[in-house]
Amino acid sequence: MRPAALVLAAAALACPAFVRAGDLLDDVAAQQADVEQRVREILVHRLEGDARALAADVARLEARDEARRDRGLAPTGLTDDVRYLAASLAPTRDAARDALHAVLRAHPDDVVRHLAEHRLEADDAEAANRILSDDRHNRRAAIINDAVRPLGVFSGGALFAAINPILLAGSAVDSIATTAVNLWNYNRLSTPEREALARYRQTLVRQPRTQDAPEIARAIRRLGAKRAAALCAETVALGKKALGERDLDHAVFYLRTADGMEGCGAAARPLAEAREALARRAAREEAGRWPVDEPPEPETGAEADDYHALLVATALGEPGAMIEAASRFLQRHDDSDFAPSARYVVAVARDLAGHHDEAKVALEALARDGRTTAGRAAAGALASVEFRRVDAIADAERRHFRDTLKYVFLGGQLDGRTALHSGTQLAAQGVQAAESLGIFNVIGVLTRAWTAWRKDPVSNQAIIDRGEEFLARQPEAPEANEVHEKLAAAYERAGQYGRALMHYRATRAPDPGRVKRLEAKMAADLLEQADKGPPNRVLLTGIVDHFPETKAADKARKRLGELPPDGDTTLDKALLLANPTLLGPDGLDLDPALLDGDRKNGELADAGVALADGALKLTLDDDAAPGHRVETRRLSSDAWARAKAAAQEALYESLVTADRRDPEIGPLEKYVPVYVQGSFGDGGLSVAPAVKMRRYRSTEKALYE
Amino acid sequence: MATRRVLAALVLGLALAPSARAGDATGAFAPYEDILQVIADLTWHLNDDTYRFPPPKDATGHELYQLALRRIENWEKRYPGRLVDVTGFTRAEALEHLGEYERAAEAYRQVGAMQSPLAEKARAGADRSAAFAEAAALPEWGDDLDASLTALRKKLDAWGALVQRFDGTPYQAAAMAEEERLESTVARLIVENRRAIEDGPKTAERSLRFLVEKHADSKNLPEHILRLGDLYAELARDYVEQHARPLAFDPDEFDARADRALDMYRKVATWDGAPEKPEAQGRFAAFDAYKTSVLARYR
């Protein structure tokens, strides 16, 4: 325990005004000097690191408490603190844990109990044991829950089960398949296991001689082997995925890394495959930089001369001369092997001369003949952003629309499991069972349609990328207005209202109503951001200033009004009520009338007080004026130091004793191991019993994922 | 029932229809039949503004100037003596666009000495490339920081003169790109030596901000912003190193420094269409993790 707290506890004991009855005052006063001496001795023992003397102090305080109880007096209140203090001097992990358990067995006060519990929870091996136990429980619960859940889905198709029980076969098979998949994955390394492994290792590094060392070492070996296998499998999977996508550079990196891992034999074959593909690619690349083995040659004479003239004109890059030379060549040698190239030159020249549409027509005509290299080059040119212009954006929009339809009608989870489920149902019911694939699952379709309406489930990035690229290259193009419109819509669907607003304002005639709607959405989005984490005064003020007419601005104004005054230490009213000693001259030196509930004589608002820049800022409610007003009191340097210390002590204590129970878990819930889960989502309505899971809560979860 | 089946078929059709893949129409990267196509592709992009936009790519995703150069060189190797004026001239054009001015000047000179309709243009190209090569040949480094900065100043002046000389022509973009590269080198030099320079961090910041402001139209603008973010990130790390003891560390001060870096990274991380976007997202995530970790350490 902190010496300051100990001294405070002693002072509290010595203070006659606290809880003592009048006939005890003499007794307390007589013992005050003795208690102070005892506290001093205890602190000296702690500073000397004398564990044995501290143990004796604990025994003496226990005897004193016993004696006081026999005399009908309250115990000293010091014993818990000294017991906790003694635990901190335990030489080993095991002795410290035993001492902390002893502290808890003695039912200490709230602060000491929380501190002792925290010490025990912070023990790495203890935490690892708890994490592993919860993880085991959750794996078993997941198998049971997933096996039961398919039987509780009420889709349109499942309703037919009442008429035709054969339909249940689909759900039963889904249940069996899900269970099989879960059992297959049962032993897969989980995030909690990774954390447990790291914590076990940390324990052995810190306390290699702990009595739990053999057990911890066994757990480390088991989890370590599992982790190595998982790392190998994950790296090989990444390599294979990259290989499947023909991303050979990444594939070789992952597979080479996996191949270097001990016992990771699975990487060798795909690595050889990737290297072979890499070599093939290099050969193909090199070949593409050379002419074909027997390229056509112009016949000597007129064809060779005209071909040379065409080459010269093309090299010089004058569009007029290029068209003239190409036309002359085509006129004289229309059946030449070089005619397609000459037509390609015509297209290039037209584009260079600024006749973009004519160039496109020429390329389209040439691209129809895919057998010639010029035809393929023309097709390639037509596929580029320069030629596709708005078409490319429109294509991306069409793909987006199609993907959205897919999501609405078929859901977003057409994976192996649902395919197996659907396949089984198809087999059982023939074509009519197609209804149960989701087509007739009206609830699911409607839910997904609503979801898609509220928040776009499909990425808009392709539309955005193409549109932005178009505008970057041709901001003054005639189609720019249309592209701004499309981008505004895409950004709005993607929830990027700032960009949507920017593009919409850049259109020729923006509709003020739509601008307002976008502003409202942007303000609401900013408000949502401001609500995450600690109050963000800057963001809230920004919403009020920039979007004053929106609903979000109204809410932001309200939030700003509720914020405590700026200060580096803030104490709300509830905290002050829970710690009345803070009001005294040793603390904030506040008039108790400010907390008596009577607004007539001034009442502290819920925001409380803040200490900042050598002053105390009070947020007050009174009858004099509506709303809150802030009163600032300058403090002397001594008063400031006292107030600050008392405030920080109270804040720390409230943090230590805060209830850490999951707010979603009721007080009796731990006695009921099952619950009924219901969901209304993509798959329709689902109601099924389930085993409760234990929430994995790690302060450093990201370190183990 | 029939309607339902039609609907089912429609939806299944939608689900199973493959998405169009980019490049399907263009075929694989393959040997070419006609040098005219290679030259036409190069000609198409000779006037591209390579200061504002990235170098052009062909339909198979290859950088066009490099590809054209390799193909022309390979043609010359396979068919030495054929169409030498054309291949020499276009090789010079490709080299010029790749910043190899000395080699380009030489190739232009060779064509200029031939009996060819390209000779006159080649001689002009030789003069131009020689001017670029002269500026490019100036040294960029000295024995110490001052000498390096002086050398860079001289070289920048030379390129600045070329920017003026070729104002309004397609060749100005190359000079501007070179000027930008040199100014970027100056900024990097100042950032790297900021501890040795008086008021180094501020000078480094000014030099990077200058780059961002002057080259606001450049294709490299996101990269310049990232580098400014890197400087802010470095300054935040310096602060942590210099205030390692807990009582010397001020979380608010660190927070302000770290947020400057994060603001810069975020600008690029949300820049749609910028090639640097994924890199910026990675840097934002990495530095944000560092900030969180430092604040947790000193909490």
Helix (H) or strand (E) holding A489: helix A480-493
Over residues A633-678, the pLDDT tens digits come to 888 888 888 888 888 888 888 887 777 666 666 666 667 788 887 7
Mean pLDDT for all residues in chain B: 89
Using the Cβ of B37 and the Cβ atoms of chain A, whether some distance falls under 8 Å is answered with yes
H, E, C per residue of A120-158: HHHCHHHHHHHHHHHHHHHHHHHHHHHHHHHHHEECHHH
Nearest CA in chain B to A437: B8
pLDDT, position A182: 77
The verdict on a CB contact (< 8 Å) between A344 and B86 is no
Q: Which pLDDT does position B14 carry in this prediction?
A: 38
Six token digits for residue A335: 């059946």
Which residues does A395 contact at the CB level (< 8 Å), separation at least 6? A388, B20
pLDDT interval class at B180 (50, 70, 90): very high
Sign of CA dihedral B212, B216, B217, B221: positive
Q: Does A379 touch chain B (CB under 8 A)?
A: yes
Q: B97: pLDDT confidence band, cut at 50, 70 and 90? A: very high
Q: In chain A, which residues have pLDDT < 50?
A: 1-22, 414-418, 428-440
Task: Report the alpha-carbon distance of residue A264 to residue A220 in Å, rounded.
Answer: 19
- The answer, for B116 touching chain A at a CB cutoff of 8 Å, is yes
Look at residue A22 in the predicted model and tell me its pLDDT: 47
Contact A108, A82 (CB under 8 A): no
Answer whether B43 sits within 8 Å of A348, measured CB to CB. yes
pLDDT at B229 over 50: yes
Structure tokens of A367? 């691209």
Contact in structure between B175 and B155 (CB atoms under 8 Å)? no
Interface of B with A in 227-256 (CB under 8 A): none
Instruction: State whether B15 and A308 contact (CB < 8 Å).
Output: no
Which pLDDT belongs to residue A506? 87
3-state SS of chain A: helix, strand, coil percent to 5? 70, 5, 25
- Give the one of A293, A377, A465 whose C-beta lies nearest to B59's C-beta: A377
**Which DSSP letter does residue B60 get?**
T
Residue A312 sits at the chain B interface (C-beta within 8 Å): yes
User: Are B30 and A287 an interchain contact pair (Cβ–Cβ within 8 Å)?
Assistant: yes
> Which of B26, B74, B86 is the closest to A312 by Cβ?
B86
CA distance A458 to A397: 11
φ/ψ (deg, to 5) at A621: -110, 135
Minimum distance, in Å, between the CA of residue B25 and any CA atom of chain A? 6
Encoded amino acid at B162, one letter:
L
- Phi, psi dihedral angles at A618 (to 5 degrees): -110, 130
Q: Indicate the pTM of the whole model.
A: 0.74
Contact B171, B178 (CB under 8 A): no
Indicate which of B272, B292, B293, B297 best probes the interface with A, i.e. most A CBs within 10 Å of its own CB: B272
pLDDT tier, B116 (very low <50, low <70, confident <90, very high otherwise): very high
What element of type H or E holds A691? strand A684-691
pLDDT, tens digit (0-9, with 9 covering 90-100), for A541-559: 888 888 888 898 888 888 8
How far apart are alpha carbons A493 and A472 in whole angstroms?
22
Q: What share of chain B is helix, strand, coil (3-state, %, to 5)?
A: 70, 0, 30
Which pLDDT does position A498 carry in this prediction?
83
Q: Sheet harboring A603-612: ordered strands across?
A: A569-571, A603-612, A615-622, A625-634
Question: Looking at the DSSP assignment, which residues form a beta bridge with residue A674?
Answer: A691
Distance between A601 CA and the closest CA of chain B, angstroms: 38
Which of B17, B28, B118 is nearest residue A316 as measured by Cβ atoms? B118
Residues of B with Cβ-Cβ distance to A312 under 8 angstroms:
85-86, 116-118
How far apart (Å, rounded) are the C-alpha atoms in residues A92 and A51? Answer: 12
Which candidate from B32, B36, B70 shows the least CB-CB separation from A292?
Answer: B32
Contact in structure between B277 and B271 (CB atoms under 8 Å): yes
Is B41 within 8 Å of chain A by CB? yes
| Residue with token string 């005399």 | A71
B22 vs B218, higher pLDDT: B218
CB A144 within 8 A of CB A176: no
Please judge whether A291 and B27 are an interchain contact, meaning their C-beta atoms are less than 8 angstroms apart.
no
CB atoms within 10 A of CB B297: 11
Q: Is the pLDDT at B158 greater than 90, yes or no?
A: yes
pLDDT given at position A444: 67
Percent share of chain B, pLDDT over 90: 77
Provide ipTM, 2 decimals.
0.84
